[in-house]
Structure 1
Amino acid sequence: MTRANDMRALEGAKRLQRLRRLTGQAIGDYRMIEEGDRVMVCLSGGKDSYALLDMLILLRKSAPISFDLIAVNLDQKQPGFPEDLLPAYMSEKDVPFYVIERDTFSTVKRVVPEGKTTCALCSRLRRGTLYGFAEANGVTKIALGHHRDDILETLFLNLFFGSKMKTMPPKLVSNNSRYVVIRPLAYCKESDLVQFAVDQNYPIIPCKLCGSQPNLKRAEIKVMISDWEKQYPGCVDNLFRGLQNIVPSHLMDKNLNNFDGPSPEEILRYRSDNPLSIDASGIQEALAEAELNPGAPMPREESQLIQVSSCGRNGQKSQEYRKESREAKKNGA
């Protein structure tokens, strides 16, 4: 039993260091927190917001910059909400804690038809309340607990049901620069956060709105991504890395790309000014540039391309290319 406990403690320590490292990396990569920032952690009572608060407390101790932390909970007046739980928990943290009371629960239940998803309206109401508090209290960064899985799931939700290629960015600046939202857990896996919550014995408060909707599309997307990972191990890592390697010119958004031209004359003029050396390496480069099939067999060194004419079915001449070895040509074949 002692050995098993030691192993669990070791795994827990590794998990803590991994989450701390990934959180710090995300903050640095996206310049989320700067000298003099006043960061507001939105504490819901869920596993992610607890972990977010702890990671920021840890990082603040060793950070080369100085920034303030506060924690805020929005009491939405959900039935049975344990009002004393979070204040008691936060009394042991060296972080100022505020509770905002606003009955958004009744509003959501009244407005959203039975059986419909409540998350969209609920999040808008929460966001408006939290943004207002942030402005009134000199907050410069609003920290949310969304993690890597949330980001991927949101991408597919928007693609499948919103016809948009977008997700939750690690750092979002409002159009007028009035608010800045950061997601320091952007690189963290949900599986690590689930187990970390067990390690830390967090007092989890379930949501009676989204938590009571078992058929949410997000849950279906979560299963889909999990199934992909089982069938193709590593594909989820590749999906996430892909979000950091966007090639706008290879997408279809007319607002991002100018699809006008070049004209036939411009194409021919460019080719005339920049002749292509037709050898094996030149062909490989041309194919790669055109993204046709860079892995296609290339002419060998002893071969060259010659152009010949042939007659198509319609009687018109068409062009085809044929390989002829230099050796055969030398022998007059």
Structure 2
Amino acid sequence: MNTPLSANVQKLRKFLEGRTGKAIMDYNMIEDGDTILVCCSGGKDSYTLLAMLMALQQRAPVKFRLIAMNLDQKQPGFPEDVLPRYFESLGIEYRIVEADTYSIVKDKIPEGKTTCSLCSRLRRGIIYRTAKELGANKIALGHHRDDMVHTLFLNMLFGGKMKAMPPKLVTDDKAHIVIRPLAYCSEADIAKFARAMEFPIIPCNLCGSQENLQRQKVKEMMHEWDRRYPGRTESVFTAIQNIVPSHLGDNDLFDFRGLTLDTPVEEGDIAFDAEELPISGTIPITHTA
């Protein structure tokens, strides 16, 4: 995009850079000497992620290397020239990896069934291998705050676990650290920024829209909650950062079996009081025989 940014877009960009920088600082995502593989799918989130990291790289107190990566999954009609041309216009180091995961997914998954799980596993393995080949110790993904909240509800409602997407994690093989610098950014702000920047968006047509996906249903649920009660997604994300183990039910996180009157418990039973209804005066108590 060569035209000057409007004042509103500059303000939005500054806001997103600030939120990204805060997430990076809060979770110590980037350190001096890191080589970060930035996964770019061609969607609004990954374009924004790359823009934020490149901007922060210019003024960060630490030095780190960025390598943009795209996985060409050989989807029919995939515009192979778009991302290389975009990366070259930015002057960033990049790697295009070609792997026909499309055929594998279509062969393994029956028609009408969701493909996301297998597709994600295949992509993940290729990304990890590429990071190792390029000497990258960090892998940056474009998941944002809404993704994390939706994942929490997916795991609660369909998996029986209170588990979300962490801002930072170690890969199963202990070879890399995965970071999500957009953890504090909302999807709405990212979408608005992507439109203003006129990123060359490449839609994922591997699986079609698949509107019956569980994630899509959760997304619709949260959108409805936010419409009726603004700020619900932000509130749930804040809750992810403020866990009170003594008021859940996991024996591995809190020793309920060993609970005694002397056990220190955060908040105690006042956690269930309605703070907006303070108790005043006396409460009459009637004894019956």
Letter of the 2:230 counterpart:
P
Residue 120 of structure 1: which of 93, 112, 117 is its match?
A: 117
Distance in 2 (CA, whole Å) between partners of 1:203 and 1:260 is: 56
Is this contact kept in 2: 1:119–1:209, CA < 8 A?
no
Map 1:24-43 to 2 at 5 A: 24-43=21-40
Distance in 2 (CA, whole Å) between partners of 1:107 and 1:235 is: 39
Distance in 2 (CA, whole Å) between partners of 1:235 and 1:178 is: 36
**What is the aligned-residue identity percentage?**
51
Residue 290 of structure 1: which of 266, 269, 276 is its match?
A: 269
SS in 2 for 1:139: coil
SS in 1 for 2:89: coil
Distance in 2 (CA, whole Å) between partners of 1:163 and 1:196 is: 35
Residue 94 of structure 1 and its aligned partner are, at CA, apart by 2.3
Offset from partner CA, 1:141-197 (integer Å, 9 cap, x none): 000000111111111111111111111111111355322100001111111111111
Q: 1:198 to 1:297 in 2, by over 3 A?
A: closer
Map 1:55-134 to 2 at 5 A: 55-134=52-131
Residue 182 of structure 2: which of 176, 181, 185 is its match?
A: 185
Q: Which residue in the other structure is 2:193 paired with? A: 196
Q: Which residue in the other structure is 1:282 paired with? A: none
Map 1:247-258 to 2 at 5 A: 247-258=244-255
Residue 233 of structure 1 and its aligned partner are, at CA, apart by 2.1
Distance in 1 (CA, whole Å) between partners of 2:115 and 2:269 is: 47
Question: More relative contact order in 1 or in 2 (CA 8 Å, sep 6+)?
Answer: 2
Q: Which residue in the other structure is 1:140 paired with? A: 137
Letter of the 1:149 counterpart:
D
Distance in 2 (CA, whole Å) between partners of 1:205 and 1:251 is: 42
Farther off after superposition, 58-67 or 82-91: 82-91
Is this contact kept in 2: 1:151–1:168, CA < 8 A?
yes
Instruction: Please tell me whether Structure 1 or Structure 2 has the larger radius of gyration of its CA atoms.
Output: 1
Farther off after superposition, 288-297 or 99-108: 288-297
SS in 2 for 1:91: helix
Is this contact kept in 1: 2:66–2:92, CA < 8 A?
yes
Letter of the 1:182 counterpart:
I
Distance in 2 (CA, whole Å) between partners of 1:83 and 1:176 is: 31
Q: Which residue in the other structure is 1:169 paired with? A: 166
SS in 1 for 2:6: helix
Letter of the 1:100 counterpart:
V
Q: 1:34 to 1:81 in 2, by over 3 A?
A: same
Q: Which residue in the other structure is 2:215 paired with? A: 218
Output the TM-score relative to the length of structure 2.
0.89
Letter of the 2:162 counterpart:
M
Letter of the 1:112 counterpart:
I
Distance in 1 (CA, whole Å) between partners of 2:92 and 2:288 is: 83
Residue 150 of structure 1: which of 147, 156, 161 is its match?
A: 147
Q: Which residue in the other structure is 1:319 paired with? A: none
Letter of the 2:186 counterpart:
K
Residue 121 of structure 1 and its aligned partner are, at CA, apart by 0.8
Letter of the 1:240 counterpart:
F
Q: 1:145 to 1:296 in 2, by over 3 A?
A: closer
Q: Which residue in the other structure is 1:280 paired with? A: none
Instruction: Indicate yes or no: 2:45 matched with 1:53.
Output: no
SS in 2 for 1:212: coil
Offset from partner CA, 1:113-146 (integer Å, 9 cap, x none): 2222111110110000110111121101000000
Offset from partner CA, 1:234-278 (integer Å, 9 cap, x none): 222211111111111211112212222346xxx4xx6xxxxxxxx
Map 1:4-43 to 2 at 5 A: 9-43=6-40
Farther off after superposition, 69-78 or 226-235: 226-235
Distance in 2 (CA, whole Å) between partners of 1:232 and 1:197 is: 26
Offset from partner CA, 1:306-332 (integer Å, 9 cap, x none): xxxx785xxxxxxxxxxxxxxxxxxxx
Higher strand residue share: 1
Offset from partner CA, 1:18-42 (integer Å, 9 cap, x none): 1111111110011000000000100
